[in-house]
Amino acid sequence: MIPERVEETPDLQGAHPRLSEAQIAALAALGHGRATHPGEILFRQGQRDCDFFVVLAGNVAVVDGYGTPEERVIGVHGRGRFLGELSLLTGEASFYTAMAADAGEVLAVPVDRLRELIAGDPAFGDLVLRAYLLRRSILIGLGAGLRIVGSRYSPDARRLREFAARNRLPFRWLDLEADPAAEALLRQVGVTPDETPIVIAHGRLLRNPSNAELAGAVGLPAPRTRHTGSDLVVVGAGPAGLSAGVYGASEGMRTVILDSTAAGGQAGTSSRIENYLGFPSGISGAELAERAVLQARKFGATFAVPARATAITRDDRNYTIGLGDGTSVTVGSVVIATGASYRRLDVPRLEFFEQMSVYYAASQAEALLWRGDPVAIVGGGNSAGQATVFLSGHAARVTLIVREPDLGVCMSRYLIDQVERLGNVQVLLRTEVRELLGDQALEAVAVDDRTGARGIVEARALFVFIGATACTGWLGGLVDLDDHGFVRTGETARSADADGGDNGWQRSVLEASQPGIFAVGDVRSGSAKRVAAAVGEGAMAIRLAFERARAT
Ligand SMILES: Cc1cc2nc3c(=O)[nH]c(=O)nc-3n(C[C@H](O)[C@H](O)[C@H](O)COP(=O)(O)OP(=O)(O)OC[C@H]3O[C@@H](n4cnc5c(N)ncnc54)[C@H](O)[C@@H]3O)c2cc1C
């Protein structure tokens, strides 16, 4: 479909900048120009390793769902504009098709040459990275790219939505209960409602795929059978692991970063981090993670997602980390950055409601799903406060249920001020959740106040932020843990050697009870449980890993 009216898409906040003549000349030296004809496809949705295209004459249309009944033009770009989005740099398959709208000319630059230019020209690099990050957000907002179809009550549909959202994959969610387009799409691909959820990924029909299958279909970096020749493995790609990855790779270590779910960790689920240095108006955890992933890749780090570490063993000076898919990685230095995971409520029928109405993060996906409905949030810390502020902009009403007598016990002052200013938020202090009510789905939450009096809070979704437990089960006793399961480091770590002694080595401050294993961020015993602290520890662990490698 060639657009009838060719009108260039406005440049929103730097998402579609125009290159200067000098920048085009620099790119021309790295690629080649060629004429285009109307309707010519420059690259297709699902294609990997596309060239970087600059429009020299005429216009190029960006098309979502090319060749399907849902085909739509989502952008038009003329002279001096460049094509592509984040997937061009991350190696994912393209989320849209680019088609010449009229006769013109483009400059095609191989992506490796583009990377060289980005690394050598910081102003140009900044322009492209900023545009690509913004374009990914625009694609997510437009619901372009993948299609996920299923029932809002299906646990697998929810798993797929969460995996896509956590990995910042653009998708449109078609809800069988609410969206007539869902049934139309199912008829079109010959699938019955009881065979859902399905994902349409770049023209391929995936029936209830596993997260790894979906990752493979979109080109997320999969774990390889053997990561040979690596110096450093970082387990966990939250802020601590990403920081270790950036510093490790930038110092020349061959670095592999593994994550069981998505880069970003807990911070990736935060709608706005307002106290991270250098971002006075705050930054979403997802954007922070996206930037860090690009930065780590720029220095040569390799990612594997989803890749869950399930075991670790020691053989002389090396450690072998076993992964969930049966593969393994062997290295001399390991950074444990597996953080912590949410704590669950102790109430009857929790598992049942967890399948469709209970959440442990409040991202854009959940906010849109429960737009206009009453929701409840449990917890008195900053994560609960952030979720309250964020969800109040979408939900009809938010009830914040807090066990403490005062919000100030665990929440930062700036968040309390924001919560107190919101008109559609009710705060229940000294109150605890006792029961979840509803037959097919959540309808209300039964709560008790400090006198034991029962109250009913209407809620279609419940968001739980009541603390976290360390993700250390996979360590299997190789390193010393504290009474709560967090990794002990430095002087507090007791050696697990058979003789109970330390064999003469001096443990550094972030080093666990085995030489060459470091623990950083929330997983570390006594850590600050803050993004900045996690990032600082990740960076510091690299220096200590170098020192350990030199000493052995
Ligand atoms: C909603 C919310 C809002 C927050 N807001 C703020 C804020 O405003 N300011 C602030 O400073 N802090 C905030 N925090 C706290 C902050 O996010 C954490 O301190 C920080 O994310 C810790 O980073 P980390 O890398 O140590 O661990 P995590 O962020 O927990 O990352 C650990 C990573 O390891 C992965 N992983 C776990 N087990 C395995 C395994 N076996 N194999 C492979 N990978 C594994 C996980 O998938 C995860 O990606 C917030 C937390 C939440 C939940």
Mind giving me the DSSP string for 47-82?
--SPPEEEEEES-EEEEESTTSTT-EEEEEE-TTBB
Q: Mean pLDDT, to the nearest integer, of 287-304? A: 91
What is the whole-number distance in angstroms between the Cα of residue 290 and the centre of ligand 1?
14
Per-residue confidence band for 12, with pLDDT thresholds at 50, 70 and 90: confident
The rounded distance, in Å, linking the Cα atoms of 334 and 514 is 10
Which is more confidently placed, 344 or 227?
A: 344
Residue 84 clears pLDDT 80, i.e. is over it: yes
Among left, alpha and beta (phi > 0; psi -120 to 50; other), residue 503 is left
Check residue 397 and give its pLDDT.
Answer: 97
Kindly report, residue by residue over 102-142, the tens digit of the pLDDT: 999 999 999 999 988 988 898 999 999 999 999 999 999 99
What is the whole-number distance in angstroms between the Cα of residue 106 and the centre of ligand 1?
43
Residue 390 clears pLDDT 90, i.e. is over it: yes
Report residue 106 CA to chain centroid gap: 33
Residue 519 clears pLDDT 70, i.e. is over it: yes
Residue 94 clears pLDDT 50, i.e. is over it: yes
In the chain, % of residues over pLDDT 90: 75
Given a contact cutoff of 8 angstroms between Cβ atoms, the answer to whether 171 and 186 are in contact is no
Check residue 1 and give its pLDDT.
Answer: 62
> What does 433-465 look like in DSSP terms, one character per residue?
EEEEE-SSS--EEEEE-TT--EEEEE-SEEEE-
What is the whole-number distance in angstroms between the Cα of residue 531 and the centre of ligand 1?
8
* Helix residue ranges per DSSP H, 373-456: 382-392, 413-421
Residue 502 clears pLDDT 80, i.e. is over it: no
The rounded distance, in Å, linking the Cα atoms of 344 and 322 is 27
Give the start-end residues of each E strand in 129-185. Answer: 146-150, 171-175
Q: In sequence order, what are the beta bridge partners of 304?
A: 258
The rounded distance, in Å, linking the Cα atoms of 163 and 149 is 14
Check residue 459 and give its pLDDT.
Answer: 98
> Measured from the CB, is residue 246 less than 6 Å from ligand 1?
no
Check residue 51 and give its pLDDT.
Answer: 96
> Measured from the CB, is residue 383 less than 6 Å from ligand 1?
yes
Nearest atom within ligand 1 for CA of residue 258 = 43
- Burial (CB count within 10 angstroms: exposed 0-12, middle 13-18, buried 19+), residue 400: buried
Per-residue confidence band for 506, with pLDDT thresholds at 50, 70 and 90: confident
Give the start-end residues of each E strand in 268-410. Answer: 302-304, 309-315, 318-323, 328-331, 333-336, 340-342, 358-359, 374-378, 397-401
Q: In sequence order, what are the beta bridge partners of 457?
A: 445
Q: In which order are the strands placed within the sheet that holds 52-57?
A: 32-36, 104-109, 52-57
**Encoding tokens for residue 22?**
């000098």
Per-residue confidence band for 428, with pLDDT thresholds at 50, 70 and 90: very high
What is the whole-number distance in angstroms between the Cα of residue 470 and the centre of ligand 1?
10
Could you say which DSSP state residue 223 is in?
Answer: P
Per-residue confidence band for 2, with pLDDT thresholds at 50, 70 and 90: low
First to last CA, the chain: 64
> Measured from the CB, is residue 339 less than 6 Å from ligand 1?
yes
- Ligand 1 pocket: which of 163, 270, 388, 489 to mutate (most atoms <8 Å of CB)? 270
Residue 226 clears pLDDT 60, i.e. is over it: no
The rounded distance, in Å, linking the Cα atoms of 454 and 497 is 54
Residue 225 clears pLDDT 50, i.e. is over it: no
Per-residue confidence band for 60, with pLDDT thresholds at 50, 70 and 90: very high
Residue 496 clears pLDDT 70, i.e. is over it: no
Residues 6 or more apart in contact with residue 168 via CB below 8 angstroms: 86, 136, 140, 262, 286, 290
- Ligand 1 pocket: which of 242, 266, 366, 378 to mutate (most atoms <8 Å of CB)? 266
Given a contact cutoff of 8 angstroms between Cβ atoms, the answer to whether 55 and 28 are in contact is no
Could you say which DSSP state residue 268 is in?
Answer: G
The rounded distance, in Å, linking the Cα atoms of 30 and 28 is 5
Our CA angle for 18, 19, 20, nearest 5°, is 120
Q: SS3 string of 76-143?
A: EECCCEECCCCHHHHCCCCCCEEEECCCEEEEEECHHHHHHHHHHCHHHHHHHHHHHHHHHHHHHHHC
The rounded distance, in Å, linking the Cα atoms of 113 and 336 is 34
Of the candidates 181, 27, 43, 21, the residue with the CA atom closest to the CA atom of residue 118: 27
Check residue 261 and give its pLDDT.
Answer: 93
Q: Mean pLDDT, to the nearest integer, of 280-297? A: 91
**Encoding tokens for residue 439?**
């037959």
Q: Look at residue 266 and give its three-state secondary structure.
A: coil
Per-residue confidence band for 452, with pLDDT thresholds at 50, 70 and 90: confident
Per-residue confidence band for 418, with pLDDT thresholds at 50, 70 and 90: very high
Check residue 256 and give its pLDDT.
Answer: 95
Residue 313 clears pLDDT 60, i.e. is over it: yes
| Cβ neighbours, 10 Å, residue 70 | 15
Q: Look at residue 290 and give its three-state secondary structure.
A: helix
Q: Mean pLDDT, to the nearest integer, of 453-480? A: 95
> Measured from the CB, is residue 386 less than 6 Å from ligand 1?
yes
> Measured from the CB, is residue 260 less than 6 Å from ligand 1?
yes
Could you say which DSSP state residue 486 is in?
Answer: P
Per-residue confidence band for 500, with pLDDT thresholds at 50, 70 and 90: very low
ω into 405 cis (within 30 of 0) = no
Residue 416 clears pLDDT 60, i.e. is over it: yes
- Ligand 1 pocket: which of 338, 413, 527 to mutate (most atoms <8 Å of CB)? 338
Check residue 387 and give its pLDDT.
Answer: 95
Residue 222 clears pLDDT 60, i.e. is over it: yes
- What values do phi and psi take at 16, rounded to 5? -135, 60
| Cβ neighbours, 10 Å, residue 123 | 8
Check residue 245 and give its pLDDT.
Answer: 97
What is the whole-number distance in angstroms between the Cα of residue 243 and the centre of ligand 1?
12
> Measured from the CB, is residue 240 less than 6 Å from ligand 1?
yes
Check residue 119 and give its pLDDT.
Answer: 83
| Cβ neighbours, 10 Å, residue 417 | 10
The rounded distance, in Å, linking the Cα atoms of 339 and 236 is 7
Residue 8 clears pLDDT 50, i.e. is over it: yes
Residue 498 clears pLDDT 80, i.e. is over it: no
Which is more confidently placed, 312 or 491?
A: 312
Per-residue confidence band for 356, with pLDDT thresholds at 50, 70 and 90: confident
Instruction: Supply the mean pLDDT for the chain.
Output: 92
**Encoding tokens for residue 539?**
């960076």
Check residue 366 and give its pLDDT.
Answer: 83
The rounded distance, in Å, linking the Cα atoms of 221 and 478 is 28
| Least-confidence region, from 106-120, 223-237, 362-376, 430-444 | 223-237
> Measured from the CB, is residue 235 less than 6 Å from ligand 1?
yes
The rounded distance, in Å, linking the Cα atoms of 476 and 514 is 13
Among left, alpha and beta (phi > 0; psi -120 to 50; other), residue 528 is alpha
